[in-house]
């Protein structure tokens, strides 16, 4: 630590603190000289010692400049120092002057005492023309800060040492005028529910419209952590696989939450997992839900592939590209291990080469086809593992033919499995059906329609 010293009004120097000078007032201004300050209608005269005791400040900088100007003019008279005019409340400054002179300022009443606690008190925010009293710490959660209020109304979340964030205080005579935070065009009822959730209460969603209202305002106010708690999801533990699972819609997948689990026994097999940002402490196996009739399954003999449309196609492509980058990251870590075992080094490249994604229908896949449970012939899953062209579940058309066929998937839930690609082409990421609701014809689609208002 250092102390600031000055020779009269000369250049400022920095003197290291020691036992000799730790209790001294720095010589920023001449201690014996008196400096005039006009606050509102009242004139205050403070010594250089008083002003230097809390320096550097606006006062000390102003009068140091005055002294330097007087020295250049060779004018050492008191009239050479101009009075500093500040249009503020003299009653408040009277307490400040007593503090600068070394007196203990005793609170006059309860209101005066509470001024010192204002930076720990709640703030008032108007949302939808309703006033809310909000504790400051409620917005300090890492997942929900910075947010609309801390960014747009920073002065209300400031500290005593940083009263006006982002504002250069050099030459600032008076603080800028500020208005209390007000958001008139958002719902007060919805904001009240968001505050209820931010305080740690359980989230209860009445219906999908209610969820969308909450999500819309959570995104508007930039509550990212709360948004992740509000998006549709399902967390469970799968006894069969002995893994935690999370079901999420494709449009709610965040890049930062995706990771890849690679088997320790086989470095080229694994699955995609996910952890909601700001919420989940550890990842779970991802079960991806894709709806909106944007998936079409193409069956050709024993081959099955998925084609995606509209925004889903771009989202799936980005997800697979992200999985590919995660795989390549694992490869970079284990390059020496893979090279020693003769494995290919183009890990993950096969994910990006085709528009159609390979899919697998397993005996455990729950399928509703044309409104009915789909139960067809099964073959031994273990036997199919040994052949790249065989799948655990066979389709059989009504006429007994197993030729080309197409299904439109209304809604599907898929696991993302990473495994060896056929013909030794590195690895691939395939979609394993967990549950599908699909239809084979336009008739099935029309049968599922409902009339407006019904």
pLDDT in tens, 223-282: 999 999 999 999 999 999 899 999 999 999 999 999 999 877 665 678 999 999 999 999
Is 68 within the bounds of a domain?
Answer: yes
Looking at the structure, do residues 137 and 211 belong to the same domain, yes or no?
yes
Looking at the structure, do residues 379 and 393 belong to the same domain, yes or no?
yes
Residue 199 has pLDDT above 80, yes or no: yes
Average pLDDT on 131-146 reads 80
Residue 336 has pLDDT above 90, yes or no: no
More confidently predicted of 381 and 295: 295
- In this prediction, residue 7 carries a pLDDT of 41
| Separation between Cα atoms, residue 226 and residue 222, nearest integer Å | 9
**HSE toward the beta carbon, residue 210, CA cutoff 13 A:** 8
Average pLDDT on 343-353 reads 43
| Separation between Cα atoms, residue 22 and residue 342, nearest integer Å | 70
| Separation between Cα atoms, residue 271 and residue 4, nearest integer Å | 63
| Separation between Cα atoms, residue 353 and residue 210, nearest integer Å | 41
Q: Which of 123-127, 291-295, 332-336, 403-407 has the lowest mean pLDDT?
A: 332-336
- In this prediction, residue 8 carries a pLDDT of 43
- In this prediction, residue 154 carries a pLDDT of 52
Query: pLDDT-based confidence at 13, cuts 50/70/90?
Result: very low
The secondary structure of 200-223, three-state, reads CCCCCCCCHHHHHHHHHHHHHCCC
237 Cβ neighbours under 8 A, 6+ residues apart: 243, 244, 245
- In this prediction, residue 245 carries a pLDDT of 96
Q: Which of 185, 212, 230 is the last residue of a domain?
A: 230
Is 267 within the bounds of a domain?
Answer: no
**HSE toward the beta carbon, residue 440, CA cutoff 13 A:** 14
Q: Which of 191, 208, 230 is the last residue of a domain?
A: 230
Looking at the structure, do residues 96 and 122 belong to the same domain, yes or no?
no
Is 452 within the bounds of a domain?
Answer: no
- In this prediction, residue 388 carries a pLDDT of 44
Enclosing H/E stretch for 92: helix 90-100
Q: Which of 106, 125, 154 is the last residue of a domain?
A: 106
More confidently predicted of 195 and 387: 195
- In this prediction, residue 161 carries a pLDDT of 53
Q: What's the number of domains the chain is made of?
A: 3
Is 148 within the bounds of a domain?
Answer: yes
| Separation between Cα atoms, residue 324 and residue 351, nearest integer Å | 6
Looking at the structure, do residues 89 and 193 belong to the same domain, yes or no?
no
Looking at the structure, do residues 429 and 322 belong to the same domain, yes or no?
yes
Query: pLDDT-based confidence at 300, cuts 50/70/90?
Result: confident
Looking at the structure, do residues 308 and 416 belong to the same domain, yes or no?
yes
Give which of 289, 308, 288 is closest to 298, Cα–Cα.
308
Q: Which of 168-182, 241-255, 300-314 has the lowest mean pLDDT?
A: 168-182
Is 259 within the bounds of a domain?
Answer: no
Residue 398 has pLDDT above 70, yes or no: no
Query: pLDDT-based confidence at 330, cuts 50/70/90?
Result: low
Is 131 within the bounds of a domain?
Answer: yes
Highest mean pLDDT among 66-80, 169-183, 288-302, 412-426: 288-302
Q: Which of 9-18, 135-144, 167-176 has the lowest mean pLDDT?
A: 9-18
Could you tell me the two tokens for 46?
Answer: 């403070």
Give which of 363, 366, 344, 361 is closest to 428, Cα–Cα.
344
Query: What is the average pLDDT value for the chain, to the nearest integer?
Result: 78
Looking at the structure, do residues 383 and 427 belong to the same domain, yes or no?
yes
More confidently predicted of 339 and 220: 220
More confidently predicted of 88 and 399: 88
Is 273 within the bounds of a domain?
Answer: no
* CATH code for the domain of 150: 3.30.710.10
More confidently predicted of 323 and 337: 323
Looking at the structure, do residues 79 and 18 belong to the same domain, yes or no?
yes
| Separation between Cα atoms, residue 82 and residue 59, nearest integer Å | 12
Looking at the structure, do residues 98 and 157 belong to the same domain, yes or no?
no
Residue 338 has pLDDT above 50, yes or no: no
| Separation between Cα atoms, residue 188 and residue 192, nearest integer Å | 6
Looking at the structure, do residues 167 and 215 belong to the same domain, yes or no?
yes
Specify the length of the chain in residues.
Answer: 454
Residue 344 has pLDDT above 50, yes or no: no
Residue 153 has pLDDT above 70, yes or no: no
- In this prediction, residue 212 carries a pLDDT of 96
Average pLDDT on 100-123 reads 64
Looking at the structure, do residues 294 and 434 belong to the same domain, yes or no?
yes
Compute the C-alpha angle 340/343/347, nearest 5°: 125
Query: pLDDT-based confidence at 147, cuts 50/70/90?
Result: confident
Under a CB-based contact definition with an 8 Å cutoff, are residues 250 and 322 in contact?
no
Looking at the structure, do residues 331 and 414 belong to the same domain, yes or no?
yes
**Host domain of residue 180:** 111-230
Residue for token pair 């982002």:
166
pLDDT 10s digits, 316-328:
999 998 998 887 7
Is 134 within the bounds of a domain?
Answer: yes
- In this prediction, residue 438 carries a pLDDT of 93
Under a CB-based contact definition with an 8 Å cutoff, are residues 409 and 297 in contact?
yes
């Amino acid at each position: 630590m250092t102390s600031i010293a000055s020779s009269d009004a000369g250049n400022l120097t920095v003197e290291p603190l020691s036992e000799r000078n730790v209790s001294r007032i720095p010589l920023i201004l001449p201690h014996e000289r008196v400096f005039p300050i006009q606050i509102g209608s009242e004139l205050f005269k403070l010594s250089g010692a008083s002003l230097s005791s809390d320096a550097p400040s606006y006062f000390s900088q102003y009068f140091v400049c005055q002294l330097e100007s007087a020295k250049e003019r060779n004018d050492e008279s008191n009239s050479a120092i101009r009075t500093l005019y500040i249009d503020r409340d003299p009653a408040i400054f009277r307490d400040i002057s007593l503090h600068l002179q070394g007196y203990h300022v005793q609170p006059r009443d309860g209101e005066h005492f509470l001024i010192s606690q204002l930076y720990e008190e709640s703030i008032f925010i108007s949302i939808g023309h309703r006033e809310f009293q909000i504790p400051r710490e409620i917005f300090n959660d890492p997942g929900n800060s910075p947010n609309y209020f801390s960014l747009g109304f920073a002065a209300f979340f400031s500290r005593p040492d940083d009263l006006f964030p982002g504002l250069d205080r050099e030459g600032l005579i008076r603080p800028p005028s500020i208005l209390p935070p007000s958001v008139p065009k958002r719902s007060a009822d919805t904001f009240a529910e968001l505050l209820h959730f931010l305080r740690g209460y359980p989230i209860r969603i009445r219906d999908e419209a209610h969820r969308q209202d909450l999500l819309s305002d959570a995104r508007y106010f930039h509550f990212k952590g709360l948004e992740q708690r509000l998006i549709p999801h399902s967390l469970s533990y799968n006894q069969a696989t002995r893994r935690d699972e999370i079901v999420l819609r494709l449009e709610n997948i965040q890049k930062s939450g995706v990771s890849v689990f690679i088997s320790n026994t086989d470095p080229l097999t694994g699955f995609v997992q996910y952890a909601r940002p700001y919420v989940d402490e550890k990842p779970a196996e991802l079960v991806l839900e894709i709806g909106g009739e944007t998936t079409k399954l193409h069956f050709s003999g024993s081959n099955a592939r998925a084609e995606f449309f509209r925004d889903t196609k771009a989202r799936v492509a980005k997800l697979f590209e992200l999985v590919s980058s995660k795989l390549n990251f694992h490869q970079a870590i284990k390059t020496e291990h893979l090279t020693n075992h003769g494995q290919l080094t183009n890990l993950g490249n096969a994910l990006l080469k085709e528009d159609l994604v390979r899919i697998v229908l397993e005996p455990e896949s729950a399928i509703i086809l044309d409104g009915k449970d789909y139960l067809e012939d099964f073959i031994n899953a273990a036997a199919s593992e040994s052949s790249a062209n065989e799948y655990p579940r066979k389709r059989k058309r009504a006429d007994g033919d197993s030729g080309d066929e197409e299904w439109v998937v209304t809604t599907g839930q898929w696991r993302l499995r990473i495994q060896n690609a056929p013909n030794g082409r590195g690895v691939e990421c395939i979609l394993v059906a967990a549950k599908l609701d699909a239809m084979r014809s336009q008739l099935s689609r029309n049968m599922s329609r409902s009339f407006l208002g019904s």
